[in-house]
Amino acid sequence: MQNPATPAPAVAPSKGKSAVQNPSGHHAATTAPSGTPSKGNSAAAQAAAAGQGSSSHHHSAGGGAGADASAPTLKRKRGVFQKDLQHMMYGFGDAPNPLPETVALVEDIVVECVTDLVHKAQNVASKRGKLLTEDFLYLIRKDLRKLHRATELLSMNEELKQARKAFDVDEETLATNAV
């Protein structure tokens, strides 16, 4: 049994990455002596912040502290997706007005996942020199639900482009015939 005054040992970093720490400098995955998560965070939030989610695709949700040393530290504008995420969270069963901290955490996780996906797609495309939609489809090929949804959205986008193009052509012919 551990001494309650000493933090739990850090989880060994995988794939050469450093252990994740929260902004206060403590490891995010430590728990209080009673077995409840420290700092009042839920176990799922701490696991997501520590990159210990159920999937290997999750990484730390924290900003600069504990991030990969080779990654440039870019400041991002927070709250850009706040309204959209609130609506999505409500649609998936959360309260109509979720806590701002919860929305901020979800936003951090979403932005990190999307950023990670884009970086992976850039690595795939670096051999060719040009980032294409197929690079993203290649990365999500094993997640059939995401793959089918992405292809569905791409086909809908193509249909909308065709409809706009046909509508613009019709307007141009009407304008030239009216003169």
Residue ranges per structural domain of the chain: 78-130, 142-178
Mean per-residue pLDDT, 73-98:
91
Which H, E and C letters describe the chain, residue by residue?
Answer: CCCCCCCCCCCCCCCCCCCCECCCCCECCCECCCCCEHHHCCHHHHHHHCCCCCCCCCCCCCCCCCCCCCCCCCCCCCCCCHHHHHHHHHHCCCCCCCCHHHHHHHHHHHHHHHHHHHHHHHHHHCCCCCCCHHHHHHHCCCCHHHHHHHHHHHHHHHHHHHHHHHHHHHHHHHHHHHC
User: One-letter amino acid identity for 44?
Assistant: A
pLDDT tens-digit map of 44-84 = 444 444 443 334 444 444 444 444 555 566 677 888 999 99
The per-residue pLDDT of the chain, averaged, comes to: 73
Question: What is this structure's pTM?
Answer: 0.53
Higher pLDDT, 137 or 173: 137
Q: Which CATH number fits domain 78-130: 3.40.50.720, 1.10.20.10, 1.10.10.60, 2.60.40.10?
A: 1.10.20.10
Higher pLDDT, 90 or 51: 90
